[in-house]
Amino acid sequence: MGKVKITLEDLFNLESAVIYNPDGFKSLSKVFIDSRKVEKNSLFIAIKGEKFDGHNFVEEAIKKGAKAILINKRKLKSFSKLTLPIVTVNDTTIAYAQLANLWRKKLNAKVISITGSNGKTTTKEILAVLLAEKFNVVKTEANNNNHIGVPLTIFSANEKTEILILEQGTNHFGEIEYTSKISEPDFGLITNIGDSHLEFLIDRNGVYREKSSLLNYTDKNNGFVFINVDDPILNEHKNDFNKVITFGFDADSNYKGEIVEITDEAKTKIKISFKEKSFETELPIVGESNAKNFLAAFAIAKTIGVSDKQIQKGVEKLKPSKGRLDVIKTPKAILIDDTYNSNPASVDAALKVLRSIKTYENKIAILGDIYELGSQAKKIHKELSKFFYENENIIVLTIGDMMKHLNNELKKKKIKTIHFNQRSELNLYLQFEEVENSVILIKGSRGMKMEEFLTTLKTRLQ
């Protein structure tokens, strides 16, 4: 297969496109929206974002080697002196998506798209490691899972790519449909349906309605749809699609998981039964939630044709993602870094890991607010108390306007809990109060910047 390229015909086929200086155009094998990363012989697309307008960086992109530019037609006058090919469109963001879809169709790669309320990033990372034992894999990096990030990841794939793994995120209706039109998945997975982004998606049925667009487009593409039958909403819809692969721990499925043992370090020994066979391993990443993520990744890997031996080699290379149930051992305590983000299900999962680690009897949970819950925020924070036992031997330190509601509920359960109104007060507590010889969980939504408290503890306990 030759190099994947953007041709002049591709540009002419963009909605509302007008091309100036077309005679100088040569097919281009790179597409960029960040002028700092532009390479020679590439197309630069000027996108207006929240903070920056790409049109202000066109000249820098040209100096770095861009051989054609794609701009908003209203900006043409500003670039009238340029002699290289200029493509104008009504909306450069939409044109970027259309070109990404064209690029995706030119790739010789199978596309796997993943979304879900919990675990989508970790499942993506596990799957990428397993598949890399057999295939050339490109995956979503960082948090590039939105209307800009999905095209960005597609353009990072080339003719050598055999598997393209896309994470697709959302917090508003219509976003998954938008990115699924671009990605046209061959394999589609929703990890689960939970209480995430309820500020805009309203309730779990709204979450499913939004995320199911990924499965609909996979089905439309004659692809495989993977259904977590342990999730009641997903299980209810498993017959809506043509090529369905099921997985789960509780119900009969094509790939049925069983947790054989949880070690004193919270690592999980798992057995997976499928097609009258079984696969057993001990995961180097902690928690039941990661066992669920692994099961989903395993089901996809087997469907694509990865052998048990290759999967086991991949298992041995698995590592926790930063800020996602990352267990950090210090000389005086064990820290569980789960600072990347938060929702109710992931709080439950993190507390289970906290309890599972037997190295120290003392347990401390530092919990910050969960964001994007809309009008249900107070109710859901109060309901987090159901994840705690009456008189449980745990100290819970809370921070944030909403976490004070959990604090009040925990007092009713006679659990030792302290709420901090100021970040400085919590930092002082962590610097000077007794926290040694403990297992300490740090968790909260991204905007709570809980990593600040992790740094305070690391500095003290090293």
- At 357-396, the pLDDT tens digits run 999 999 999 999 999 898 999 999 999 999 999 999 999 9
Residue 203 confidence (pLDDT): 83
What is the C-alpha to C-alpha distance for residues 159 and 439, in angstroms, rounded to an integer? 47
Tell me the per-residue pLDDT of 52-103, one tens digit each, with 9 for 90 and over.
999 999 999 999 999 999 999 999 999 989 999 999 999 999 999 999 999 9
pLDDT at residue 197, rounded to an integer: 62
- Residue pair 380/343 in contact by the 8 Å Cβ criterion: no
Q: How far apart are CA 346 and CA 140, in angstroms?
A: 21
Domains and CATH numbers, the chain: 8-92 (3.40.1390.10), 107-315 (3.40.1190.10), 326-461 (3.90.190.20)
3-state secondary structure 187-220: EEEECCCCCCCHHHHCCHHHHHHHHHHHHHHHHH
Task: Report pLDDT for 462.
Answer: 85
Give, in degrees to the nearest 5, the angle at Cα 357 between 414 and 283: 140
Distance CA 234, CA 245 (A): 12
The model scores a pTM over 0.75:
yes
Chain length of the chain? 462
Instruction: Locate 368 and state its tokens.
Output: 């910050």
At 121 the three-state DSSP class reads helix
Distances (CA, A) of 82 to 56, 76, 256, 459: 14, 10, 61, 54
Tokens at 335, concatenated? 């820290």
Q: 272 near 279, Cβ under 8 Å?
A: yes
Q: Strand runs (DSSP E) across 84-202, as ranges?
A: 86-89, 110-115, 137-139, 163-167, 187-190
The candidate with the shortest Cα–Cα distance to 402, out of 380, 418, 417, is 380
Angle of CA points 304, 310, 314, to nearest 5°: 100
Instruction: Look at residue 1 in the predicted model and tell me its pLDDT.
Output: 65
Based on DSSP, count helices (H) and strands (E) in the chain, helices before strands. 16, 20
Both tokens assigned to 86: 């200029």
What does the angle CA 292 – CA 298 – CA 304 come to, to the nearest 5 degrees? 145
Predicted local confidence at residue 111, as pLDDT:
98
What element of type H or E holds 315? Answer: helix 308-315
Low-confidence ranges of the chain (pLDDT < 70): 1, 196-201
Instruction: Please say whether the beta carbons of 184 and 150 come within 8 A.
Output: no
